[in-house]
Amino acid sequence: MSTTDVKWVLVATTDSRPTLVKGSRASRSTISLKLMMAVSGLVFIGFVLSHMYGNLKAFGGEEKFNDYAEHLRTIGEPLLPESGLLWILRLGLIVSLVVHVTSALILARRARAARPVKYAVKKNRHSSISSRTMRWGGVTILVFLVWHLLNFSIGKVNPAGGETDNPYTLMVDTFDLWWMTIIYLVAMTALALHLHHGTWSAAQTLGLTNTAASRTRAKLAGWVLAVVVAGGFSLVPLSVLLGIIEK
């Protein structure tokens, strides 16, 4: 035996890592982080579905669209103050976003640490592109979200330089610019990919896919949501660009 062989034998039989975890808790596991991602993700799914429904009011014309925006602010009155419900929903979304992104960051960091040395060659046998782009796709959605809020909500920035206090005209002005429409379509592609994997992933994380049949159904739900949500959102900017929706 050479000296390196001797060292190898010693290494194989001693391990410096402590053995079993004392005081283990279900709540402190990586799976709990995933459960928080799944629940916050489902909140987002509910949000994007209702938001998309609201946007489709644009096909009803200026009045219907602006009435809907106004209605959101007056629901629950006089029980709730003006914009009361809106703020409750916003708060729920902000909390969900913080939870979702924080868990994503912790899990992404863990995953990086779990494989410090990369493979020289690594092939993917079977997995979907959407499943492998959740992290970058999520960041894309987040960056888009910042612009989107500046554009239509917090900032009311009219990139065409027109009126800003009329939601309908602000929207039409924005999507009359082809490059703005492109930005929104790219974001919707990212959202579609995220929903395609995220929907099935959330079902799996929640432990709802214990059979091959339920797995197939969850994956189908991912496809349906991706197409319906991203497609539904994209209809409005495309229709503006093509002149179907006008001022």
Where along the sequence are the contacts to ligand HEM (CB under 6 A)?
34, 37-38, 41, 44-45, 48, 100-101, 104, 134-135, 138-139, 141-142, 194-195, 197-199, 201-202, 205
CB 159 within 8 A of CB 56: no
List for the chain the helix, strand, coil content (%; round to 5).
75, 0, 25
HSE (CB half, 13 Å, CA atoms) of 126?
A: 0
Q: What token pair was written down for 192?
A: 């579609």
Which whole-number Å values give the CA distances from 14 to 8, 10, 115, in the listed order? 10, 6, 22
For the bound state, the minimum distance from the C-beta of residue 144 to another protein, rounded and expressed in Å, comes to 21
105 is an interface residue for another protein by CB under 8 A: no
Which of 1, 4, 165, 179 touches another protein (CB under 8 A)?
Answer: 4
For the bound state, the minimum distance from the C-beta of residue 105 to another protein, rounded and expressed in Å, comes to 12
20 is an interface residue for another protein by CB under 8 A: yes
- Using the minimum distance from each CB to another protein, give the nearer residue, 4 or 161: 4
For the bound state, the minimum distance from the C-beta of residue 209 to another protein, rounded and expressed in Å, comes to 4
Which of 1, 78, 79, 122 touches another protein (CB under 8 A)?
Answer: 122
Write out the binding residues for another protein, residues 43-82 only, by CB under 8 A: none
Residue 45: exposed, middle, or buried by beta-carbon count in 10 A (0-12, 13-18, 19+)? middle
CB 200 within 8 A of CB 218: yes
Binding mask 127-156 for another protein (x = CB under 8 A): x---xx-x----------------------
Question: Tokens 């938001």, residue?
Answer: 51
Q: What token pair was written down for 54?
A: 């609201």
CB 199 within 8 A of CB 193: no
- Using the minimum distance from each CB to ligand HEM, give the nearer residue, 57 or 100: 100
Which of 140, 174, 181, 201 touches another protein (CB under 8 A)?
Answer: 201
Question: Tokens 């103050």, residue?
Answer: 81
Q: Which residues bind another protein (CB under 8 A)?
A: 2, 4, 7-8, 11-12, 15, 17, 19-21, 24-35, 107, 110-111, 113-127, 131-132, 134, 197, 200-201, 203-212, 214-215
